A and B are shown apart, each in its own frame.
Chain A
Amino acid sequence: GAVVSQHPSWVICKSGTSVKIECRSLDFQATTMFWYRQFPKQSLMLMATSNEGSKATYEQGVEKDKFLINHASLTLSTLTVTSAHPEDSSFYICSAETGAVYEQYFGPGTRLTVT
C-alpha cells in the first residue's frame, strides 16, 4: 500500500524557536496534502490543505503566518511552526491524497513539545 512518512517523529524545542516537520509520500505522487493537529483525547483537526506549487488553504482560526506550509513537490510538504510557544505543543499529522478523491494515506505523526 501507499506509504507516507513524517520526520521527525518527535521533537522538543524551546519557546520562540521554529520547527520544521516534513511529510513525504514515498511511493506515489500526492496532488494534495493535508495537515492535521491532534490534541490528547481529541479529534484530528484539519489545519490546512496544500496543493503542489500553490499556496495552502488554511482552515478558519489557523494562523497562516505561524504555521507555514510549503508543498514544493508532488512528494514533499513541510509544516514550519514559527516562534513556537508551549500552546503549540501537539501531535501533528499529515496525509497525502493520490488524486482519487478521498484516497488519502496518513503519516505516523510528529509529536511537538515546546518548552
Chain B
Amino acid sequence: AQSVTQPDIHITVSEGASLELRCNYSYGATPYLFWYVQSPGQGLQLLLKYFSGDTLVQGIKGFEAEFKRSQSSFNLRKPSVHWSDAAEYFCAVGAAGYSTLTFGKGTMLLVSP
C-alpha cells in the first residue's frame, strides 16, 4: 500500500523568503505525485503533478517540485513566498491505472510580514 509523509505539521516563512515543503512517499512502483493547496472555504487546488519525464515539475503560482526517486521525495519549492500563499499544503500519491489518491497529513504554511 502506498503512503505519504509530510514531516512538518506547520512552517512559518517570512514574506519574500524561499520555501520548501517536504514530502516523502512509499510506493513499490513508479508513483504519480501531486501537490494540492487548501485555503479556508476553498476546495483543494492542484498546484502541480508528476507522472513521468523531467523530474523538475513547474506548477501554478510560481511553485515547483522535484521528484527524487533515490530519496522517495517530492518536495515543493517556491523562491519567494507571498502572504497569499498562507494555506495548507497536501502531498498525494497515486498509482498508474487507478484514480484513487493517498494524501499526507498536510503542512500548514504561515507567512510572517
Q: Which residues of A contact B (CB under 8 A)?
A: 4, 9, 32, 34, 41-46, 49, 93, 95, 97, 101-102, 104-109
Can you show 10 pairs from A to B with CB atoms below 8 A apart?
A42-B105, A45-B103, A46-B100, A49-B99, A49-B100, A93-B43, A102-B34, A102-B51, A102-B99, A108-B42
CA distance A101 to B49 in the complex (A): 12
Known: A4-B43, A105-B43. A43 touches B104 (CB 8 A): yes
Rounded to whole Å, the gap between the CB of A58 and the closest CB of chain B is: 12
CA distance A105 to B49 in the complex (A): 13
Q: Which residues of B contact A (CB under 8 A)?
A: 4, 9, 32, 34, 36, 41-46, 49, 51, 90, 94, 97-106
Beyond contacts A9-B41, A44-B101, A106-B43: 11 other A-B pairs, Cβ-Cβ < 8 A, are A32-B99, A34-B100, A41-B105, A46-B100, A93-B43, A97-B99, A101-B99, A102-B94, A102-B101, A108-B43, A109-B43
Q: Is A102's CB under 8 angstroms from B42's CB?
A: no
Q: Is A106's CB under 8 angstroms from B99's CB?
A: no
Q: Is A93's CB under 8 angstroms from B44's CB?
A: yes
Q: Is B103's CB under 8 angstroms from A44's CB?
A: yes
Rounded to whole Å, the gap between the CB of B33 and the closest CB of chain A is: 10
By a CB distance below 8 angstroms, the chain A residues around B103 are 43-45
Q: Which of A9, A46, A105 contacts B101 (CB 8 A)?
A: A46
